[in-house]
Amino acid sequence: MPRKPKSKTKTQAIAPSGSKDPYPQFDAPTPDQCLSVRDSLLSLHGFPKEFAEFRRIRHEPGLQSESVLDGLVITLLSQNTTDSSSRKAFERLKSAFPTWNQVLDAESDVLEDAIRCGGLARTKAGRIKSILKTLKEKKGDFCLEYLRGLSIEVVKTELSQFKGIGPKTVFQITKGIGWIPTTASRETAYLHLNKRIPNELKFDLNCLFVTHGKLCRSCKQQDNKTIDNSSALCPLVNSTYVNRQEMHVTKDS
């Protein structure tokens, strides 16, 4: 059973405005747990290079960044591969097709060849085309810059319309370390974590969880109740900030 919060006031103090927490009596994660996880993953992996520019821009307002659409495609290409491979795939994509219109019009096999070094070429090529087709049909242009001025909740809603863009990795890891109830869905997990995680740690934790999910054998497992020998290297398994009661709950509980 999840622990009851020691203080409602503390929970409310760290919860941003917006949708209600679907699990108000579930008191994980605490701000200290969030900070400990962030620092442990930073120590283990360093900050992911693919997100470093976006992090720098967040701390230095006014800096120019690559377009939102570029960032979205880079993120899609980074799934199930290394940062260097995904970046190379993006560079080859832009070299072969200088404009997004050319990407949309390209033959699927040609597009797949351009991004093959990033893995899962057929799947990723299809999703890139789907994103571009949706933008052209709904917005009339290949541009997502309008997202910069919107709230996090609205941005999440806008991006969720694109196939292949979602919180799967973060969802699996946070369920495994007991930050959300075992019965949580992706949607309720997002609402709960959005309330519990301090705003200044959300970006770092999301990026680090994505990277950790790619590299850690224990956290990649669908069922985190089975921990193999690689768990000795995982700070999320061997730590005081994991809610162990939740981590080992059976499906029937």
Q: What is the pLDDT of residues 59-111, one digit of tens each?
A: 665 555 578 899 889 888 988 887 788 889 999 999 999 999 999 999 999 99
What pLDDT score was predicted for residue 10?
37
The CATH architecture assigned to 50-159 reads: Orthogonal Bundle (1.10)
Encoding tokens for residue 187? 């949607």
As a whole number, mean pLDDT of residues 150-164 equals 78
Task: Please report, rounded to a whole number, the percentage of residues in the chain having pLDDT higher than 70.
Answer: 75
* pLDDT tens column, 17-68: 457 899 999 999 999 999 999 999 999 999 887 777 777 766 665 555 578 8
- pLDDT score, position 105: 96
Written as one string, the DSSP assignment of 145-204 is: GGGGGS-HHHHHHHHTTSTT-SSHHHHHHHHHTTSS-TT--HHHHHHHHHHHS-HHHHHH
* The two structure tokens encoding residue 234: 């995982």
- The highest-confidence range among 48-52, 224-228, 232-236, by mean pLDDT, is 48-52
Alpha-carbon distances, residue 6 vs 3, 63, 129 (angstroms): 9, 42, 49
Query: Which residue did the predictor score with more confidence, 147 or 241?
Result: 147
CATH code: domain 15-48+165-247 is: 1.10.1670
- The answer to whether the predicted template modeling score (pTM) of the entire model surpasses 0.85 is no
- What's CA 118's distance to the chain center, in Å? 18
Q: Where in the chain is the domain with CATH 1.10.1670?
A: 15-48+165-247
Contacts of 28 (CB under 8 A, 6+ apart): 2, 3, 178, 179, 180, 196, 243, 246
**How much is the average pLDDT of 131-154?**
86
156 CB contacts (<8 Å, ≥6 apart)? 190
Task: Show which residues are catalytic.
Answer: 168
Looking at the predicted structure, is the pLDDT value of residue 3 above 50? Answer: no
Residue 12 has pLDDT above 50, yes or no: no
Domain with CATH 1.10.340.30 in the chain: 50-159
- 99: tokens are 């404009």
